[in-house]
């Protein structure tokens, strides 16, 4: 799949789209084992077993939400990746504000919230050998269009659509994110 408007050298150049998958994060780890190129992006319309932090499930059961994972191969020191999850959150919040005039807050370490409800989550995983990061796998889930939530999360989760009545094109958002986030990776000399 080709993403329109992508201005990156790595991120999203190899983009694999699934209508339905168990987890973009699981898939990207398999692609890493299969030697997929750095910058590979997996996106899905629906996830049946999306992975959140602490082994929680991330629900993506309606189309047009953002469900993606990115593979970044690197040879950087662990210290270069410190605070990266917060920087990812800042990029998401910035895009939402600048492009859609939506104000969201960061709940450290890895959640984005609105009116006390979780809108987005970030899962940053890595493979480290002797203090050198060999790869980063970054999973991002954003409830853009989700309107119905499972009973166990309906009081703690929401979506852009429910909170602001704004429709966000998930592919456009992913392009914006890749364009912005690659700058941060270059600044940190991760890529």
Encoded tokens for 151 = 């009973």
Over residues 105-119, the pLDDT tens digits come to: 999 989 999 999 999
Question: What φ, ψ does residue 108 adopt, rounded to 5°?
Answer: -65, 145
Q: Could you report the per-residue pLDDT of 41-88, keeping only the tens digit for each?
A: 999 988 876 665 555 555 566 667 899 999 999 999 999 999 999 999
Closest by CA to 114, choosing from 90, 87, 140, 93, is 93
Q: Where do the domains of the chain lie, and which CATH numbers do they carry? A: 15-187 (3.30.930.10)
């Amino acid at each position: 799949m080709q993403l329109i408007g992508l201005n990156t050298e790595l991120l999203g150049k190899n983009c694999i789209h699934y209508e339905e998958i168990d987890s973009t994060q699981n898939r990207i780890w398999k692609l890493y084992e299969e030697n997929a190129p750095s910058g590979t992006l997996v996106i899905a319309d629906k996830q049946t077993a999306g992975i959140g932090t602490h082994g929680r499930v991330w629900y993506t059961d309606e189309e047009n939400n953002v469900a993606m994972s990115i593979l970044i191969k690197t040879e950087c020191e662990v210290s270069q990746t410190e605070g990266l999850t917060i920087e990812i959150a800042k990029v998401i919040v910035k895009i939402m504000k600048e492009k859609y005039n939506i104000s969201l807050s960061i709940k450290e370490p890895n959640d984005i919230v609105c009116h006390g409800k979780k809108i987005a989550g970030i899962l940053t995983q890595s493979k480290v050998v002797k203090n050198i990061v060999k790869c980063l796998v970054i999973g991002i889930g954003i409830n853009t269009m989700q309107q119905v939530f499972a009973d166990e999360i309906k009081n703690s989760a929401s979506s852009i659509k429910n909170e602001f009545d704004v429709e966000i094109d998930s592919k456009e958002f992913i392009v914006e994110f890749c364009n912005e986030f690659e700058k941060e990776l270059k600044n940190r000399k991760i890529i």
